[in-house]
Structure 1
Amino acid sequence: MSIAAAPAPKLRDRDRYEWARTGDVNAFFGLMIDNIGDMILMTSLLVVAFGFPRDFILTRMIPGTAVGVLVGDLIFTVMAFALARRTGRSDVTAMPLGLDTPSTFGSVFLILGPAFVAAKGRGLDAAAAAEHAWFLGIAMLLASGLFKLACAPFCGWIRRVVPRAGLLGSLSAIALVLISFLPLLDVAAQPVAGFAALIVVLATLSARWKLPDRAPGMVCAVGVGCAIYYGMYLADLGPGAEGGRPESWLRFSLPFPMAGWWAWFQLHWREAAGYLPVAIPLALATIIGGVDCTESAAAVGDEYPTGLIVAAEGLATLVGGGLGGVIQSTPYIGHPAYKAMGARAAYTLATAVFIGAVGVLGCFDWIFFLLPKAVVFPILIFIGLEITAQSFQATPFRHFPAVAFACVPALAYLALLAVNQVLPLVDRPFDQLPSNVQHWIGSVTTLSGGFIVTSLLWGSGLATLIDGRVRATVAVLLLAAAFAWFGVIHSPLPSGAVMPPAAVVAELKALGRAEASAHQTPYYWSAAYLAMAAAVLVLARFAEMPEIEPDPHVAPTKAV
């Protein structure tokens, strides 16, 4: 005898879904400023660090990126209404979605910036080089969106296969070294206004101090910082607004680049494929993050389907890429915090409309002009600290060394950024530098090559080693050996190009780096990981492994 499933309860009139509450105001400002901060970050880094044409970013890259957020938050708003109707509850909070901060850094420093510099090195002018880098960024965003959609039905399996210490370790590497440190340089450039805004952010968001009338900490931090910044400008103690004044109040700009992009892709698909080892781990991180965000929402009563959440972010990423966006969208980790504010679904709807309008109608030009980076970037510092803290909180205590180990390759990348800033000013060819300097630069270049993938592998390998999973550890090391063989990780080339070992050695000779990188070739790094795998097998044969005790640090997660 079969038992019919009970019908879902319907909302009664007195329990009608209250989709807009006063808590949505605070939640809107938090989610909106977070997204605006990411767009300011992308624009500033591309313009300052790589010399990208500012107008090209504002009119080609920003609109599609904003529309991706528009689509994603609209989908999440609709899903909140559907969940309220299905469960009969009136207190459903929509999942927040926005631009992925780690992907912002990854796309700028590992895809868009290097591609722009390489294109200029081939003789293209700034406009043509920017278009080439833009098309490459679109290709990576489309690949990320397709990868998310393909993984949506299997997101639970992916989470089980990839050790959390490896994935969260690679994420915390980006968070601590790039998201927190690099924006800190801009905050320190205007320390009076910047650090005043920073302490407000840390007090209200990290220390969770509550302001009168539940005023949003992010808005107050920006307000305090701007008051000090422009007050110092009026007193002739500061620089005033940054960048050039926009030429018009409003302008409609929504590119449809697919025809030109397809013609470009047919000629440059091999080059685009070489950047997949950067784009796919960033997409994988947002997939696992989407799973974790769905679980955190379920923990406070909002049971969203995990596969649909990941599919929604994949669709938003695809739409953004199809309209010229270059930064992927992802669910944000703050759902429980937004629910605690009393938010429902109005805040995601308002964020969708505001961010979409800002990007398409040119309002972001004025935001970028008027909001100083030193005042906005403290929010990114908080995000980096929060991601790092949550990476440890969500990881078993015994895996803490694995999370820390995963951060090390990012330190090499940070050192390489400093080298690349100074080396052009030395005005000496690489082969005329002191030999010890050459070897140091060669080692840093190799350690930083594909550091996101390296972080994932190092963290995963150490986590499985700590758990005594010999076969899993050896499998990770063999995979690292294969990746090193083709330069996916530890490429000794400044460009980080993925190619066979013989081609890498030939390129090193052409660059005059053969001697400095003699022991940094793919042959040596593949052999290094093979030696590690052999050592693990020998140790497993003779060493005694400790028993793994239940870890009270992490509560068990539900099956997905």
Structure 2
Amino acid sequence: MTERAAPRWFVPGDLNGFFGLVVDNLSILGFIAAALVGIFGFPAEVVFTRMFPGTAFGVLVGNLIYTLMARRLALRTGRDDVTAMPLGLDAPTSIGMALLVLGPAFTRFQAEGMDTEAAALATWQLGMAALMVMGTLKLVLSFAGDLITRIVPRAALLGSIGGAALVLLGFLPLIETLRSPVVGLATFGLLLYVLVARGRLPVRIPGVLLAFLVGTALYYGLGIAGLGAPGFALPRAMPLGLTLPWPGLGFIDGLPLTVPYLSLLLPFGLLMVVGGINVSESARAAGDDYRTRDVLLAEAVSTLVAGLCGGVAQTTPYIGQPAYKHMGARMGYTLLTGLFIGIGGMLGFVSGLVQWLPLAVLAPIIAYVGLDITVQAFQSTRREHAIAVALAFLPSVAYLLVIKLGNPAWIEPARFAELYAHGEGSGLPELATIVVLGNGFIITAMLWASALVAMIEGRLRLAAGWLLAAAALCLFGVIHSVHPQGGIYLPWALQGLGRVIAWQFAAGYAVLAGMLALLSLQAAGPRERAPPGA
């Protein structure tokens, strides 16, 4: 009896998988840098020499674990076609961290009187602490992931992130895309051609890589010729150097700073657990039976390692494992990607690459990701629950308005406070209502969609339970925080307009919950759908 040959570490298809996975990670790192440095004026040195090494090290650790998991599965089954689970930085939450947590926090620290260096250090500590919070949550929930998916309807889970994807990952990057119209439209259109229309290319290279190359060439070519968008300038390259991501306890000082952002961070972690479960099922359907708990534990560990070493963006397994299998990739591509990103983050050449990727080229891929996540929210949900998915989008619109209206360059802080406190006509002030709806928007979206799904299914008491949970959470500011920055609080400590808003919202949820509970007492009978327009 002949012994089975050990599976090969590398096959030709691993090169295709390597390019695809590296481009995904570089694009997310590039957008984080572009958002923090370009939009919020964050010091580039802190981003490239403090945030990125630890972030990249988390990618290295996670991909090494997934590579070893693939090899163990291949040895156990005797198969040579096992494909490793791809791991990288999660696009929605990484971009959400930049646009919704780190950038606004940096601005707030400066407004409170900190100088730029101190504000940047506090923001970095906040980012590390945020990763430790999300990583700890993922570690705990990795043992109860299936329970979560049974309790929370899919429409609520996907609708809440779908709304954030469409409004924040779709609309905001689209604006950045169109600020350099020639470059942005060309890059975005080419991405749609290769990723959506599945169009053929005259060269055999990954379509996303081609779009990046074309967009970057256009940006620098037109800019140097004086034909680009206003404000073109060659980037000031940061000097390359060895920056080891040593573990530290800096995140401890950042833990108190995470409190106002828990309503974002906790759903971010929860969604990664659900996503990890879906990814495991996808890989299993493609023929690679990874244990779900192991997949979730690996992503939790890599996120915690990144946070401990100074990282600010969480890692996650990518949903495209079957796509990488179809490329011919096996286990070598994750090993190569982990080494390239991890070592490159330490040596500085990943930061060097990221600095030369224009925002007008990076933003289109983020906009595409937002569109793709939004479509998935509808396609992966039962048709009768589609309206719950759409309902879950609305709080994200409010948060988009908060981002724009809260920009001091648009509305002076004193004027913002005046509009927040005083309205015209009856009801709460309009700006206060928008801000309160936007605060905690992901959890709000999940609760709204969960309640509506329960109503659609005729489970009125369950719907009432979701609404009562919303009433309790809004009293403590987890959702509908009356603080413009979204902080949580004790309800009896509120004064003035804030107290009125919190109790009005809580009462609204409680009254609706009571009405549904009374309606549930009706005798069971045939359910009729109201005619259109009724």
TM-score clears 0.5: yes
Q: Distance in 1 between matches of 2:372 and 2:454?
A: 25
Instruction: Give, in angstroms, the shift of residue 546 of structure 1.
Output: 6.0
The aligned counterpart of 1:178 is 168
Greater shift, 521-530 or 131-140, is seen at 131-140
Deviation at 1:53, TM superposition (A): 1.3
2:512 corresponding residue in structure 1: 532
Distance 2:3 2:82 in 1: 12
**Alignment partner of 1:246 is 2:237:** yes
Post-superposition CA distance 1:222-276 (Å, at most 9, x none): 111122222212322126875741242x2111343624443x25xxx54434432
Give 2:356's match in structure 1, choosing from 343, 362, 370. 370
1:410 and 1:431 map into 2 onto residues whose CA distance is: 22
Instruction: Say which SS state the counterpart of residue 98 (structure 1) adopts.
Output: strand
- Give the deviation of 1:504 after TM superposition: 3.5
Secondary structure in structure 2 of the residue aligned to 1:399: helix
Is the alpha carbon distance of 1:261 and 1:390 closer, same or farther for their aligned partners in structure 2, counting shifts above 3 Å? closer
1:137 aligns with 2:127: yes
2:266 aligned counterpart, secondary structure: helix
Partner amino acid, structure 1, of 2:507: A
Unaligned runs of 5+ in 2: 529-534
The answer to whether the aligner puts 1:386 opposite 2:372 as a matched pair is yes
Give the distance between the partners of 1:132 and 1:424, measured in 2 at CA: 25
**Aligned residues of 1:93 and 1:339 also touching (Cα < 8 A):** yes
The residue identity in structure 1 corresponding to 2:23 is I
With over 3 angstroms needed to count, the CA separation of the structure-2 counterparts of 1:10 and 1:452, relative to structure 1, is: farther
Map 1:323-362 onto structure 2 (within 5 A): 323-362=309-348
How far off its partner does 1:422 sit? 6.3
- The structural deviation recorded for 1:192 is 1.0
Q: In 2, Cα distance between the equivalents of 1:377 and 1:109?
A: 13
User: Counterparts in 2 of 1:86-105, with a 5 A limit?
Assistant: 86-105=76-95
* Gap runs ≥5 in structure 1: 1-8, 507-513, 549-560
1:12 to 1, 4, 11: 4
| Contact persistence 1:399–1:466 (CA under 8 A) | yes
Which residue in the other structure is 2:154 paired with? 164
How far apart are residue 116 of structure 1 and its match? 2.0
Where do 1:165-314 residues align within 5 Å? 165-212=155-202, 214-238=204-228, 244-248=235-239, 250-256=240-246, 258-262=248-252, 264=253, 269-314=255-300
Q: Distance in 2 between matches of 1:402 and 1:546?
A: 22
Task: Kindly tell me the number of residue pairs found equivalent between the two proteins.
Answer: 523
| 1:464 and 2:444 aligned | no
Contact 2:491/2:499, CA 8 A, preserved across alignment: no
- SS at 2:120 equivalent: helix
Q: CA 1:274–1:370 in 2, change beyond 3 Å: closer, same or farther?
A: closer
Per the TM alignment, residue 526 of structure 1 is displaced from its structure 2 partner at its CA by: 0.8
CA RMSD of aligned residues (A): 2.4
1:104-135 Cα offsets, whole Å, 9 max, x none, are 23322332223323322332111111111211
Cα deviation for residue 11 of structure 1 reads 7.4
Shift of 1:19: 4.2
Counterpart of 1:321 in structure 2 is: 307
CA distance in structure 1 between the partners assigned to 2:188 and 2:238 by the alignment: 31
Shift of 1:58: 1.1
After superposition, what is the alpha-carbon deviation per residue over 1:451-507, rounded to whole angstroms, capped at 9, x for unaligned? 11111111111112211222321221111111100011011221111002343435x
1:164-195: CA deviations, max 9, x gaps?
11111111112111111111111111111111
Change (3 A) 1:243 1:108: farther
Rounded Cα–Cα distance in structure 1 between residues aligned with 2:277 and 2:184: 34
Pairing 1:435–2:426 present: no
CA contact 1:197–1:224 (8 Å) conserved in 2: yes
Q: CA deviation at 1:398?
A: 1.1
Distance across 2 between alignment mates of 1:441 and 1:77: 50
Question: Residues 497-549 of structure 1, C-alpha deviation per residue, up to 9 Å, x if partnerless?
Answer: 1002343435xxxxxxx3xx685x2111111110111121122234867679x
Q: CA deviation at 1:359?
A: 1.6
- Mapped to 1, the partners of 2:68 and 2:209 lie a distance apart of 27
Residues of 2 paired with 1:58 and 1:462: CA distance?
Answer: 44
Q: Which one is further off, 357-366 or 89-98?
A: 357-366
Q: Give the Cα separation in 1 of the matches to 2:268 and 2:37.
A: 23
1:429 Cα offset (Å): 3.1
Residue identity matched to 1:525: F
Supply the distance in 2 between the matched residues of 1:306 and 1:168 (Cα, whole angstroms): 19
Any conservation in 2 of the 1:34–1:379 contact (CA below 8 Å)? Answer: no
- CA–CA distance in structure 1, aligned partners of residues 108 and 339 of structure 2: 37
1:25 matched to 2:5? The reply is no
- Cα distance change on mapping 1:213 and 1:430 into 2, 3 Å: closer
Q: Which range is displaced more, 317-326 or 374-383? A: 374-383
Distance (whole Å) between structure 2 residues aligned to residue 431 and residue 372 of structure 1: 36
TM-superposed deviation, 1:447: 0.6
Counterpart contact for 1:491–1:497, Cα < 8 Å: yes
Which SS does the other structure have where 2:88 is aligned? strand
Counterpart in the other structure of 1:71: 61
Distance 2:408 2:110 in 1: 19
Deviations 1:373-396 (A, max 9, x none): 111222112211111112222111
Question: Percent identity between the aligned chains?
Answer: 43
1:509 maps to which residue?
A: none
Looking at structure 1, the residues matched to 526 and 322 of structure 2 have their Cα atoms a distance apart, in angstroms, of 37
Q: How does 1:35-114 map to 2 (within 5 A)?
A: 35-114=25-104
Q: 1:417 aligns with which of 403, 428, 441?
A: 403
| Aligned residues of 2:440 and 2:479 also touching (Cα < 8 A) | yes
Corresponding residue for residue 555 of structure 1: none
TM-score (norm 1): 0.88
State the distance in 1 between where 2:243 and 2:232 align. Answer: 24
- Given that 2:404 and 2:410 are in contact with CA atoms closer than 8 Å, whether structure 1 keeps it comes out as no
More off after superposition, 355-364 vs 410-419: 355-364
